[in-house]
């Protein structure tokens, strides 16, 4: 990373980094173009930033890219097992839609606190929904247990090469449309940021991650600080992860230029301004990159609006 405060303590895991490459992102793009449309860019003049509107993607977030690419790649390898995943909501919805589209059995484990909008979205596409635990990490532990008991394929929401490659197609679309100098990406487990960095770093684009104060496990991991603390409550429920991925951490240690930590009040203000000034409905994590963009210089900045599955109860409190 270019930021001195972070780079001094980073030691990329070369072996793990080598398991997913920019070529894998291009292969994912070739797989996905038959199923998914390119999402639009919107110039948010009041913010001085372009927005990549993944809130308009199938199932309302970028997560369907990684899930669909993983299922398609597995089919190419002859792996037709049922798939299970733990998710705060958007990965579960993406997997449910992808499984429906390809005729694969899908089981999703979601925290009991998952927004109703996201739970309903998963059920709509026919996936089995299991509610377990008070957060993503407890849901994941239960998913691991079920996978071992039943022979399911466990699909990580972020720490999987095929998932990372699929998310990276967001970066390819941005580059094709606007030639950015900076791209801002929200970070939870790191799959989106890692994929976008793989797609764009060779083109000289700066990649800046965004996290919320108290929900910053990846930033702490990159500084070699302890992780595993319970994340703070946040509007950005989609990025509340205790432990970032090993693969994503290795990739971001090598490719990420900086991480900006956003205060909860800044995130709330950005959510409201997005709706009122730009007529863009984003969930908390979806507004995170734009909130961070205020502190990042660039002539051609682009922030990824990663999702728009905002729970009605949250919307009423903004």
Instruction: Write the DSSP string, 220-249.
Output: HHHTT----PPPPP-S-GGG--SS--HHHH
Whether residues 243 and 111 fall in one domain: no
Closest CA to 95 of 166, 137, 155, 152: 155
CA 216 to each of CA 228, 243, 281, 305: distance values in angstroms, whole numbers, following the listed order: 10, 10, 24, 18
Q: What are the beta bridge partners of residue 186?
A: 210
Rounded-to-integer distance, Cα 142 and Cα 156, Å: 13
Assess whether 299 and 190 both reside in one domain: yes
For residues 129 and 245, state if they share a domain: no
What is the structure's pLDDT at 112?
Answer: 92
Mapping DSSP to helix (H, G, I), strand (E, B) and coil, where does residue 88 land?
coil
Rounded Cα distance, 26 and 256, in Å = 20
In a shared domain, residues 165 and 288: yes
Q: What is the DSSP string of 157-174?
A: SSSSHHHHHHHHHHHHHH
Which regions in the chain score pLDDT beneath 70?
1-18, 312, 316
| Same domain assignment for residues 171 and 256 | yes
Where does a domain end: 154, 181, 215?
154
Are 125 and 197 in a shared domain?
A: no
pLDDT, position 10: 32
Q: What CATH number has the domain bearing residue 266? A: 3.40.50.1100
Domain end residue (candidates: 91, 120, 154):
154
Same structural domain, 274 and 128: no
- Identify the CA nearest to 71 among candidates 23, 33, 103, 36: 103
Give every CB contact of residue 221 below 8 A, 6+ residues apart in sequence: 227, 243, 244, 249
pLDDT at 8: 32
- The residue out of 109, 127, 154 marking a domain boundary is 154
Residue 195 structural domain? 4-62+160-317
Residues 206, 271, single domain; the answer is yes
Q: Is 52 helix (H, G, I), strand (E, B) or coil?
A: strand
User: Is residue 95 domain-shared with residue 227, that is, in the same domain?
Assistant: no
Same domain membership, residue 86 and residue 42? no
Q: Is 190 exposed, middle or buried (0-12, 13-18, 19+ CB in 10 A)?
A: buried
Residues forming the active site: 63, 306
The dihedral built from the CA positions of residue 200, 201, 205 and 210, taken in this order, carries a sign that is positive
Q: What is the pLDDT of residue 6?
A: 38
Q: Which phi and psi angles does 67 have, rounded to 5°? A: -65, -45
Record the tokens describing residue 60, joined without a space.
């309302």
Tally of structural domains, the chain: 2
Enter the tokens of residue 284: 């908390």
| 187 and 253 share one domain | yes
Answer yes or no: do 200 and 289 share one domain. yes
The rounded distance, in Å, linking the Cα atoms of 226 and 217 is 9
Quote the tokens at residue 132.
């377990």
User: Under 8 Å CB-to-CB from 157, ≥6 apart: which residues?
Assistant: 63, 85, 86, 87, 88, 91, 136, 163, 189, 191
Q: What's the pTM?
A: 0.91
pLDDT digits (tens, 9 = 90+) for 24-60: 999 999 999 999 999 999 999 999 999 999 999 999 9
Mode of pairing for the β-strands spanning 258-262 and 206-212? parallel
Residue-level pLDDT at 16: 29
Contacts of 40 (CB under 8 A, 6+ apart): 53, 56
Judged by DSSP in three states, 304 sits in strand
């Amino acid at each position: 990373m270019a930021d001195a405060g972070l780079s001094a303590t980073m030691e990329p895991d070369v072996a793990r980094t080598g398991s997913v490459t920019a070529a894998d992102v291009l292969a994912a793009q070739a797989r996905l173009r038959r199923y998914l449309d390119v999402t639009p860019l919107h110039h948010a003049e009041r913010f001085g930033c372009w927005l990549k509107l993944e809130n308009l993607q199938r199932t309302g977030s970028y997560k369907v890219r990684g899930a669909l690419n993983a299922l398609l790649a597995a089919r190419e390898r002859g792996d037709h097992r049922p798939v299970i995943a733990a998710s705060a909501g958007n990965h579960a919805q993406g997997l449910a839609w992808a499984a429906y589209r390809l005729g694969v059995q899908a089981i999703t484990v979601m925290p009991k606190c998952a927004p109703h909008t996201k739970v309903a979205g998963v059920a709509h596409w026919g996936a089995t929904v299991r509610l377990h635990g008070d957060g993503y990490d407890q849901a994941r532990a239960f998913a691991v247990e079920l996978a071992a008991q039943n022979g399911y394929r466990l699909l990580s929401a972020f720490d999987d090469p095929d998932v990372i490659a699929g998310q990276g197609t967001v970066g390819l679309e941005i580059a094709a449309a606007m030639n950015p100098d900076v791209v801002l990406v929200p970070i939870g487990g790191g799959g989106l940021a890692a994929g976008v960095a793989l797609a764009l770093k060779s083109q000289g684009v700066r990649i800046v991650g965004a996290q919320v104060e108290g929900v910053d496990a990846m930033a702490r991991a990159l500084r070699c600080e302890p992780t595993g603390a319970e994340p703070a409550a946040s509007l950005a429920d989609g990025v509340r992860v205790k432990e970032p991925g090993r693969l994503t951490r290795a990739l971001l240690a090598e490719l990420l230029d900086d991480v900006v930590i956003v205060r909860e009040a800044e995130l709330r203000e950005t959510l409201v301004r997005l709706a009122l000034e730009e007529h863009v409905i984003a969930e908390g994590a979806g507004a995170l990159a734009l909130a961070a963009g205020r502190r990042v210089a660039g002539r051609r900045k682009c922030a990824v609006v990663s999702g728009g599955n905002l729970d009605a109860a949250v919307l009423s409190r903004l």
